[in-house]
Amino acid sequence: MPKTHLNPPNLPNWSQAFSQIVICKEPKSTIYISGQVSVDENKSIIGPNDLAIQAKQAFQNLHLALEAVKATEKDVVKLTIYIKNYSSDDAPAIGSALRTYFEGDSLPTSTWVGVQSLAEEGFLIEVDAIAVLF
């Protein structure tokens, strides 16, 4: 297998949410996907003031970006999720949206970052990714 997901026993086991380490050997392509937000193809915000709806749309847009390069969520090795004014109370809405697209126990590495603001007023979440094709 070209990718190995590791959750070493001497680190906390977060395997239900992300892998601690992903090792990629000899990939054909590495794909960097810009931050996806909750907008439609006309740049109209989906789910104003609703983090759960915006999270679902941001992950849907990530899914569409992956499809455009013939990749899937299984090819993603790293996620960075930026959340405006993050609170731990936001975790279930974000986790639910993430798990809609990322299933199983071989999850990408992940970093969630609380930020004061995002690129445009009204954006509550932004998700970027690195995917590797073999």
CA-CA distance, 21 to 4, in Å (whole number)? 8
Q: Domain containing 37: what range?
A: 3-133
pLDDT tens across the length of the chain (134 residues): 578 888 888 888 878 778 888 888 887 899 999 999 999 999 999 999 999 999 999 999 999 999 999 999 999 999 999 999 999 999 999 999 999 999 988 899 999 999 999 999 999 999 999 999 98
Cα(45)–Cα(73) distance, rounded to whole angstroms?
Answer: 23
Q: How far apart are CA 72 and CA 4, in angstroms?
A: 17
| Residues 20-37: b if buried by 16+ CB within 10 A, e if exposed | eebeeeeeeeebebebbb
- Exposure of 113 by Cβ count < 10 A (0-12 exposed, 13-18 middle, 19+ buried)? exposed
The CATH number covering residue 91 comes to: 3.30.1330.40
Structural domains counted in the chain: 1
Contact 106, 19 (CB under 8 A): yes
